[in-house]
Amino acid sequence: MIIPVILSGGSGTRLWPLSRKKHPKQLLNLTGEHSLLRNTVERGCALDSATAPIVVCNESYRFLIAEELREANIQPEAIFLEPQGRNSAPAIAAAAFHIRKNHPEALMLVMPSDHAIHDLDRFEAAVTAGTGPAKSGDLVLFGIVPDRPETGYGYIRTSKEFDPIIPQAVREFVEKPDLDTAKTYLKSGNYLWNSGIFLFSPDVFLKHLDQLEPEMHTACRNATENARVDLDFVRLEEESFKSSPAKSVDYAVIEKVENLSVVPFDGGWSDIGSWDSLMTERRPDENGNVISGDVHAKNVANSFLQSSSRLVGVVGVDDVIVVETPDAVLVAGREHGQEVSGLVAELKKQERSEVDHHRRVYRPWGSYETVDLEERFQVKRIIVKPGGVLSLQMHHHRAEHWVVVKGTAKVLVGEKEVLLQEDQSTYIPIGAMHRLENPGRINLELIEVQTGSYLGEDDIQRFEDIYGRSEG
């Protein structure tokens, strides 16, 4: 039995402005109809020997991830919520403690949630090939057969020139090389990209963790043993988990043990970690351009051009990245694509909201989008899913006027409850307790006009919330 363990805590800053802290790349439809997360979960669940998956994620993504799984009709074994990101090793350890207790004979297949794999038959063959070594006590890695000299990945040196899908001994781990060194690796024929996908017994992994990182082992054990169930989620105990050292699984365990095997895999893999890697996932036109949205390009070659909300014109440039969203535009040379994360870090220092949120912000009940914002007023478009219920709440500094444009709204203001249809409206004074609900079968859409001295999202006092939120 194999239990897929999906790691979904990253923020994908190199793909800003599409990827944001509160809505990162794994939750975006970057390579097809569905999100990277959903594709990863379905890939793991499609394996013959796989059971229900475990997802380990940032607390702020919990409702988005639960909705992705619901739409895929997948019931997870558990969704573990990290109270704070501590890198991959503690996340994997928490899942390992759970699996060892509940499924001691199972293997765990650890997969980042933001990868793309095209040949699913080859992927299943690779996992099957790794099952034998994993059952024998090896930590099994999956190494990607390189097709170019790549400087953005770490490498694994094998014992000989390899055959795809045949497990090999690991001789050496190599950090990201410069271009000349990467060319040497490609020519030698016995180097693989380190994919970050692993297969092993939870007991074997935890024994290594106890020997190599005893503080992390204790912290994650305590966080798992004292976890509590909250709706569809399992909240890792906060104090214990935060006390764990923050280390990647490679540095904490993988690169320090000897019982390793690597399975070479050549089934069309990408980590979708940069604009260049995303370009390889989309088919370029005759000029080498990848274009989506309302973009008009003239005398442009080898470029990534995307528009989300308006007309974008690009003339007379090559090898550029132009990405437009409703609230931010990125323009960069392709050779500088890896530097976008540095730009995001600078914006974060300036406390720019565009680092965290898109203009459309998702909530468990639906979404809202700011249409206009000036001093003392704000206009929002609010969408509430069928059955969605906002918290019973009040605001200290703002009043609200709601106009229904689609669907039916059930509104409570003070002690009075009314049903509003299209073209009807209501007013919520400052300090009035209120709640909004969609009792219908189609999306409820309304326009909200806020007025007041302070319009921040933190001006909210909740009294009841069916989603168990204290904030957000």
All structural domains of the chain, each given as residue ranges with its CATH number in brackets, are: 2-270 (3.90.550.10), 275-346 (no CATH), 360-464 (2.60.120.10)
Q: What are phi and psi of 453, to 5 degrees?
A: -80, -20
Q: What are phi and psi of 209, to 5 degrees?
A: -65, -40
What is the model's pTM? 0.90
CA nearest to 170, candidates 108, 255, 252, 267: 255
Tell me whether strands 107-112 and 228-230 are parallel, antiparallel or unpaired: unpaired
Angstrom distance (rounded) from CA 355 to CA 314: 25
What are the distances in angstroms from CA 105 to CA 32, 109, 125, 136, 201? 36, 13, 21, 12, 8
Specify the residue for token string 């990848």: 290
- In tens digits, what is the pLDDT along the chain, a chain of 472 residues? 999 999 998 778 999 999 999 899 999 999 888 999 999 999 999 999 999 999 999 888 899 999 999 999 999 999 999 999 999 999 999 999 999 999 999 999 999 999 999 999 999 999 999 999 999 999 999 999 999 998 889 999 998 778 888 999 999 999 999 999 999 999 998 999 999 999 999 999 999 999 999 999 999 999 999 999 998 899 999 999 999 999 999 999 999 999 999 999 999 999 998 898 899 898 899 999 999 999 999 999 999 999 999 999 999 999 999 999 999 999 999 999 889 999 999 999 999 999 999 999 999 999 999 999 999 999 999 999 999 999 999 999 999 999 999 999 999 999 999 999 999 999 999 999 999 999 999 999 999 999 999 999 899 999 999 988 765 4
